[in-house]
Amino acid sequence: MSNQIIFYIMGISGGLFVLILIAYFIMRSTLNRSDVKRIQQLREGTKQKKFTSDILYQKLYIYFIKIPFLNRYVRKLRRRLEIINVDDEYLTRRQTAKIMLNAILIIVPLTIFIIVLTYSDKLLLAILLLFEVFLIETIMSGMVDKLDTKLLKQQIGFFAEIRHAYHEYNMVEEAIYEVSQNDQLEISRQGEKIYEILISDDPETELEKYYDIAPNSYLKEFAGISYLTKEFGDRTDSNGASLYLKNLNNITEEMQLEILKREKLDYVFQSLSVISLVPVLCMEPLKNWAVSNFAFTASFYNGKLGFIVQLLLIVVTFICYLLTRKLKDNGSTASEYKDPNNTWQVKAYKNPIIKKVVDLFIPKKGTKEYKKDINLLKDAASKQKMETFYINRITICISVFFVSLILFAQIHNVAIDYIYENPTSEYNILGTMSESQEQEARNLTAQDNYFLDRLKGREVTVEQIKAELMSSQYYEDATDEEIQAAAERIDGKLKVVNKEYLKWFEWLLACVFAVAGYFAPKWMLMFQKIMRKLEIENEVMQFQTIILMLMKIERVNVEMILEWLERYSNIFREPITRCVNNYEAGAWEALEELKNEINFEQMVRIVEGLQSAVEKIPINEAFDELDNEREYYQEKRKESNERLIKRKGMIGKAIGFTPMVGLFVGYLIVPLVVIGLFSMTDTFNTVSTMM
């Protein structure tokens, strides 16, 4: 390469270096300008950090959905949260992971506490760990209910903003759109969904779809009233007020009453579920305390009778816990939502063999028994199908039968273990054994166990036992009195060991318990039906509010009112549905049949008003007393809610405190008194004999 070419290359390189330096200084001066600095600061402010709680929850969701046991709860939570979040996948995942994490943070320490507390009693430990499965459901349901109540509170502010926007735009859809864009609250997503429905090509069909997924009935009412106002226009009442805004005010008042009702129910029941579970956790510490302070109670707590009382307490606690949960149910749509076609019962019923077996138990369609079961499912507002209902009954029946046999066998094992492990010594009510006395008693138990192992399963007499004792090394130097006492003692133990086996009446009891298990789901539905009937007055008053909102809207007829009542009904859903189906065949006759099927006076008055509106007078005249006595009905609604909460609270406290009463009375006081009296009697008899 020539020197000239080298100089050219060096010159070009130097020139490029100078150009780079010039460009650097120009860019630096540009970046120092205030507007560029401001842009950089804004970018820094919106820049996502490497680690945030949102990122953590998104990653936790991915982990939770992959874990076999937890993914069932994750999917269950998703189904309930998707209703509130309306297609917001990011928020749904975040809330699901947050609720799951909170539940785990409660359950894991509780599990450790239970293991430490009951590690010596394997059966009690297994039962308590099984209880935790139901406790997880309670924790998650409580958290979702809070989100549902939070949405209700947001709706009050949302409707207040709708009022102001409606005054400005005088168009329903524009007012909803404007308010929905103001924030990122959960209610804004519902508002956007309702806006999309109102501007769609077929709003009526889209509205019907929304009714199936709406989080609560108040959003259904709001969407329906907004649609009717958009279609038929707004009207003014005698005072010149907008009918649409008046209806919004009616819905708001309904929501305020519902929020107060839920908050009071939460306050009444906030600790009852925990109180109903506490006795199960306290059994082992209570047992240890009683045995350490009153040694004579060891025969009860470590023996068969104590084990039976313990099992009864566990069963009572489990039943009371379930009843308390059912009683506290606030009836929120989100908490009741469950896909009836995506359950293990439906999948099991698809198996041909299982289907044939289950069909043998299901009553034939058209029979009286079939109609009773169908009506019970509807009256209890259960989402179960007839097939899943009977699969549950059969499964519980079989499970209870085998669990009963296992528990009976375990009762016999407890009695045998007590004979083999209890230190063989008689001591009085006033004290416990010293270490040397306890060691001596355990040595004597080990000697007796040697003879029990040789003689158990055989019918032997005391004389045969004495012969066995005298031929052993343990009693080579014993006196006749000592051998006689030992033979009688071993004979008593041997009789207990030989009779501890499954007997015919225990098989019969297992069958009885299995039958009770078969009817348990039906009894639970009956309880749920009774609880829902406590709210019958509340439902009728909601009907009155719906009629009050619809009766002044043009083109609204009786059939449309019945369709709205059907949509929001629970207790009266079945008769109202039949009335709607028969309406075309004869309006008056269909309403007359509805009136004959119900026996609640206020509901009968509503039906009579609808009958008057069919042929005689306009709807607004048939129900003019609802508008005139609005304040009275509102006060009556408040008083009705107060009575409902008081009644539920009384029933809930009676059920919730039953296990606690059973624990202290049946598991502590009665054993102490009864066994103490027997021990004192034996002590006095011994002293009398010695004297």
- Evaluated on CA atoms 216, 219, 225, 227, the torsion sign reads negative
pLDDT digits (tens, 9 = 90+) for 307-353: 888 888 888 888 888 888 777 765 443 444 455 555 777 888 888 88
**CA gap 104, 107 in Å, rounded:** 5
Is residue 50 within 8 A of residue 91, CB to CB? The reply is no
b/e code 593-605 from CB counts within 10 Å (16+ = b): ebbeebeeebbee
Q: What is the pTM of this model?
A: 0.71
Alpha helices in 329-381 (DSSP H): 333-336, 344-349, 352-361, 368-379
Assess contact for 314 and 280: CB atoms under 8 A: yes
Per-residue pLDDT tens digits for 358-372: 888 888 887 888 888
d(CA 565, CA 244): 19
What's the mean pLDDT in 208-217?
85
Cα gap 271→266, rounded to integer Å:
9
- Cβ pair 223, 194 in contact under 8 A: yes
Phi (first) and psi of residue 167, to 5 degrees: -60, -35
Please tell me the distance from the alpha carbon of residue 125 to that of residue 268, in angstroms, as a whole number: 30
CA atoms within a 13 Å half-sphere pointing along the CA-CB vector of 97: 20
CA distance 80 to 331: 14
On the question of pLDDT at 14 being above 90, the answer is no
Name the residue with higher pLDDT: 567 or 337.
567
Residue 572 predicted with pLDDT over 80: yes
For residues 46-50, give the mean pLDDT: 50
Phi first, then psi: give them for residue 242, nearest 5 degrees.
Answer: -65, 130
Whether residue 217 is predicted with pLDDT greater than 50 in this model: the reply is yes
199, 221 Cβ separation under 8 angstroms: no
Q: Which residues contact 510 (CB under 8 A, 6 or more apart)?
A: 400, 401, 404, 405, 408
Closest C-alpha to 597, from 324, 383, 375: 375
Q: Mention every residue, 6+ apart, whose C-beta is less than 8 A from residue 516.
A: 400
Mean pLDDT of the region 145-161:
88
What is the pLDDT at residue 685?
A: 62
Judge whether residue 38 has pLDDT over 60.
Answer: no
d(CA 248, CA 162) in angstroms, rounded, equals 9
Query: 242 by DSSP, 3-state: which?
Result: strand
Please state, in angstroms and rounded to a whole number, the distance separating the CA atoms of residues 518 and 34.
Answer: 78
pLDDT of residue 20: 59
Counted residue by residue, the chain has a size of: 691
Q: Over range 607-615, report the average pLDDT.
A: 84
User: Measured at the alpha carbon of residue 61, what is the angle toward residues 58 and 65, in degrees to the nearest 5?
Assistant: 150
| Model pLDDT for residues 541-553, shown as the tens digit of each residue | 888 888 888 887 7
Residue 4: what pLDDT? 56
Beta bridge partners of residue 236, listed in sequence order: 242
Distance from C-alpha of 266 to C-alpha of 328, rounded to nearest angstrom: 8
Q: Which two tokens stand for residue 11?
A: 């010159």
- pLDDT tens, position by position, 63-97: 888 888 788 888 888 888 887 777 778 888 888 88
Reply yes or no on whether the pLDDT at 512 is more than 90: yes
Rounded Cα distance between 296 and 641, Å, is 52
Cβ pair 64, 70 in contact under 8 A: yes
Instruction: Say which DSSP state 236 is in.
Output: B
273-290 burial by CB neighbour count: b if 16+ within 10 A, else e?
Answer: bebbbebbbbbbebbeeb
Q: What pLDDT was estimated at residue 518?
A: 92
Q: In this structure, what DSSP letter does residue 60 have?
A: H
| Number of CB atoms found within 10 A of residue 333's CB | 18
Tell me if 408 sits within 8 A of 506, measured CB to CB. yes
Lookup result for tokens 């008056």: 588
Averaged confidence pLDDT in the chain? 79
pLDDT range class, residue 425, cuts 50, 70, 90: low
The residues, ordered by sequence, that sit 6+ positions from 438 with a Cβ below 8 Å of its Cβ are: 423, 425
Closest CA to 300 of 309, 311, 289: 309
3-class SS letters over 503-544? CHHHHHHHHHHHHHHHHHHHHHHHHHHHHHHCCHHHHHHHHH
* First-to-last C-alpha distance (Å) of the chain: 134
